[in-house]
Homo-oligomer: A and B are copies of this chain.
């Protein structure tokens, strides 16, 4: 049975099994500070001082210890490191209320899941919610939050200017702050966890291109106030860039801004608009309000391909019924969870927080939405 020869790649060394004999060079030692102290012929206190650059070590000892540390690539046990530190960390998470926009509901699951994993490690979360249509509400809630002096903050900022001020304030007060879902500014004080919104627009464009081949596409922004515009503008720019790169004249692209009743600023109805533009065969809805356009399509039996955003209930229903062709999943749950975890691991284990964490942009149809709901 074992008479042939196998190779087993193992820790960059090759062990060879030959006629029942397994030549196995195995380093199972788990080095500790004490081990290193013994190897260097000093006490663990001295090793510790070298590790933390606390000084008060002779050059000869320092050199000897450093050499050993490098040789075995020593990394202190993060578990023991953390044990001594019995502080409770507070992470505050600031995001819009859900009753206006169910998009935010999955964040609650993320928080629950996070708490289950991290509460026994001494990390707590606190939720602060603000009114998604009031910059004032965002600002005030943020300030009240900051006044409690948490260890870290994770926020979904809809309002650019206010968010930037909050971010700056936290920076000055030495409170760690991360942003999710909406990016503030690349060179700002806060890092970003979420998706590449520009690319997200390009994906929508590719999908509609695949679906249509040619025609007239309407980019529709539904019921969004001016302050939230950056978000949608990035998607729109991405969308258009796809067709610019394609350099073809097969498509006409129009941009439409609608209020929550699907009316234009000048009170013109969407119905009237579509009657005047019968050539429109595709729609890109830039927010989770995609279902509003899909309901319109259903009611008036329009021949439209629709690509929009997010796995909110109404969208899923219409996706299953075939009134929405594709959804792009912004995955607020994953964003919140990754955001919280990144902060927690930084607080607990000193892991560094990357300038930005870009999560995958999921394409959803009626057959694969289930997996993303968990």
Contacts and interface: CB of A to CB of B under 8 A. Distances in A.
Contacts of A365: 203, 206-207, 210, 363
B141 A203 contact: no
Contact of A367 (B22, B203, B325): B203
A77 B78 CA distance: 14
A8 B79 contact: no
B2 A143 contact: yes
B144 A17 contact: yes
A272 interface: no
A202 interface: yes
A127 B8 contact: yes
Contacts of A207: 365
Given A83-B83, A362-B362, A199 B368 contact: yes
Contacts of A11: 124, 126
A199 B141 CA distance: 44
Nearest to A359: B371
Contacts of A17: 144
A368 B363 contact: yes
Interface in A248-291: none
A199 B370 CA distance: 10
Contacts of A82: 79
- Pick the most buried of A28, A210, A370: most chain B CB atoms within 10 A of its CB: A210
Nearest to A31: B120
Contact of A22 (B2, B144, B358, B371): B144
Contacts of A10: 126-127
Contacts of A199: 367-368, 370-371
A215 interface: no
Interface in A316-349: 325
A122 interface: yes
B79 A1 contact: no
A289 B195 CA distance: 30
A64 interface: no
Interface in A124-177: 124, 126-129, 140-141, 143-145, 147-148
In the A-B complex, the 4 residue pairs with the smallest Cβ-Cβ separation, listed nearest first, are A363-B363, A360-B371, A203-B367, A75-B120
Given A8-B128, A360-B372, 18 more contacts: A2-B140, A2-B143, A10-B126, A11-B124, A11-B126, A17-B144, A22-B144, A28-B88, A30-B88, A30-B122, A76-B120, A77-B83, A196-B371, A199-B368, A203-B365, A203-B368, A205-B367, A361-B368
30 contacts: A1-B140, A2-B147, A4-B140, A7-B129, A8-B126, A8-B144, A8-B145, A9-B127, A9-B129, A11-B126, A17-B144, A22-B148, A24-B148, A75-B120, A76-B120, A77-B121, A79-B121, A80-B83, A196-B371, A199-B368, A199-B370, A207-B365, A210-B211, A210-B365, A242-B367, A358-B371, A360-B362, A360-B368, A360-B372, A363-B363
